[in-house]
Amino acid sequence: MKKLTKNLLIFLSVFYLLFMTGCSLKSAPASSNGIDKKEKSKTTQTLNKSDEKAETSKENTNGDTKTDTNSSAESNNTTTNNPIEMKDNTESIPVLTYHSVGNTNGNQLIISPELLDKEMQWLKDNGYTTLTLAEAYRFFSENKPVPKKSVVLTFDDGYVDNYTHMYPILKKYGFKATIFVITDSVDKNSAYLTSTQLKELESNGIAIESHTVDHKKLETLSYQNQLEEMKNSKLFLEGLLKKKVDYIAYPFGTYNDATLQAAKEAGYTMALSMDQGWSNKNNGIYKLHRVYISAFYDMNTFEKRVTNPQY
Ligand SMILES: [Zn+2]
């Protein structure tokens, strides 16, 4: 009996203990759940925040790569998705020289709109970037890299057909170009661009720069006269276009030592000759070479001049 009572007592105590523990176990989760929820939400917030941080830092770390990929995808919307290859100024750029655009046969200075279109189409299809002279200047003088496939399009003399024929073609491809204008012909000779056309071109990606006042052979003039030709054309265009005119192409592409000095004194930062070849900073920033594009060249010759620095 005694043993039985003892066992019963033990059983009851164990039962009581279990019951009490059970209560506390039951009640405890209720309260601890409350805390848990708050804590959990706090923790989750913290985690979320740190996740955000982690994401942000991830974005930051990948930022450059991301931007590069995006920008190259944007600007390289031609045939390939590869990032654009850049070049530094130990290398050269082809600066193409055109003049008139029209349908006159037999003049190598007057390229037909059809052929010009074909050449521009080729540049577009082959992933070329057209640079402004300002971009070319930063490349030569500050070594700001440019795409490997860069080209500068220049048109000498400022013929009115640059507005009627060249401008619509370049617009179609979204290309930039520069026209070197003989300022004494503006609004005076109907074969040349008017001041209204010059303003429109300037504000639509076709930069207007100087080709002197009178298109004289500079090297035949005195230093003072060379300086006037360059200064006065610069002043005229700056007044008309309300911008700084920093670049000049020498008439006939010819020059002497005084020309280079006068161009600098007149306030130009870069000048172009007609010495044949791709432009390289080692040529000198006041007599950069250009690539002549005759109206008589076929597509093979054109491609060779644009793709091969030793064409
Ligand atoms: Zn000229």
Tell me, what amino acid is at 136? A
Over residues 147-203, the pLDDT tens digits come to 999 999 999 999 999 999 999 999 999 999 999 999 999 999 999 999 999 999 999
Q: What is the pLDDT of residue 22?
A: 43
CB 146 within 8 A of CB 139: yes
CB within 8 Å of 50: residues ≥ 6 apart: none
CA of 215 to the centre of ligand 1 (A): 6
CB 291 within 8 A of CB 94: yes
Cα(272)–Cα(94) distance, integer angstroms: 12
CA of 157 to the centre of ligand 1 (A): 5
Model confidence at 5, in pLDDT bands (50, 70, 90)?
A: low
Q: What is the pLDDT of residue 105?
A: 85
CA of 301 to the centre of ligand 1 (A): 22
CA of 38 to the centre of ligand 1 (A): 81
CB 107 within 8 A of CB 163: no
CA of 211 to the centre of ligand 1 (A): 7
Model confidence at 60, in pLDDT bands (50, 70, 90)?
A: very low
CA of 165 to the centre of ligand 1 (A): 18
CA of 250 to the centre of ligand 1 (A): 7
CA distances from 77 to 16, 127, 204 (A): 80, 8, 21
Class of residue 216 by CB neighbours under 10 A (exposed 0-12, middle 13-18, buried 19+):
middle
Ordered by where they begin, the domains of the chain are 1-75 (no CATH), 91-307 (3.20.20.370)
CB within 8 Å of 220: residues ≥ 6 apart: none
Residue 301, pLDDT above cutoff 80: yes
CA of 156 to the centre of ligand 1 (A): 5
Q: What is the pLDDT of residue 81?
A: 62
Over residues 229-270, the pLDDT tens digits come to 999 999 999 999 999 999 999 999 999 999 999 999 999 999
Residue 76, pLDDT above cutoff 50: no
Q: What is the pLDDT of residue 15?
A: 47
Q: What is the pLDDT of residue 6?
A: 57
CA of 218 to the centre of ligand 1 (A): 12
Question: φ, ψ for residue 156 (rounded to 5)?
Answer: -90, 150
Length of the chain: 311
CA of 281 to the centre of ligand 1 (A): 23
Residue 274, pLDDT above cutoff 80: yes
CA of 88 to the centre of ligand 1 (A): 30
Six-digit token string for 196: 């209204």
Rounded to the nearest integer, the mean pLDDT of the chain is 83
CA of 146 to the centre of ligand 1 (A): 27
CA of 251 to the centre of ligand 1 (A): 4
Q: What is the pLDDT of residue 159?
A: 98
Around ion ligand 1, which residues have CB less than 5 A away? 156-157, 251
CA of 124 to the centre of ligand 1 (A): 27
CA of 274 to the centre of ligand 1 (A): 10
Class of residue 133 by CB neighbours under 10 A (exposed 0-12, middle 13-18, buried 19+):
buried
Q: What is the pLDDT of residue 84?
A: 86
Start-to-end C-alpha separation, the chain: 120
Over residues 125-150, the pLDDT tens digits come to 999 999 999 999 999 999 999 999 99
Tell me, what amino acid is at 159? Y
CA of 121 to the centre of ligand 1 (A): 26
SS3 99: coil
Average pLDDT over residues 72-91: 69
Say which DSSP state 131 is in: P
Would strands 247-249 and 270-276 be described as parallel, antiparallel, or unpaired? Answer: parallel
Cα(109)–Cα(237) distance, integer angstroms: 24
Q: What is the pLDDT of residue 11?
A: 52
Six-digit token string for 281: 């900073």
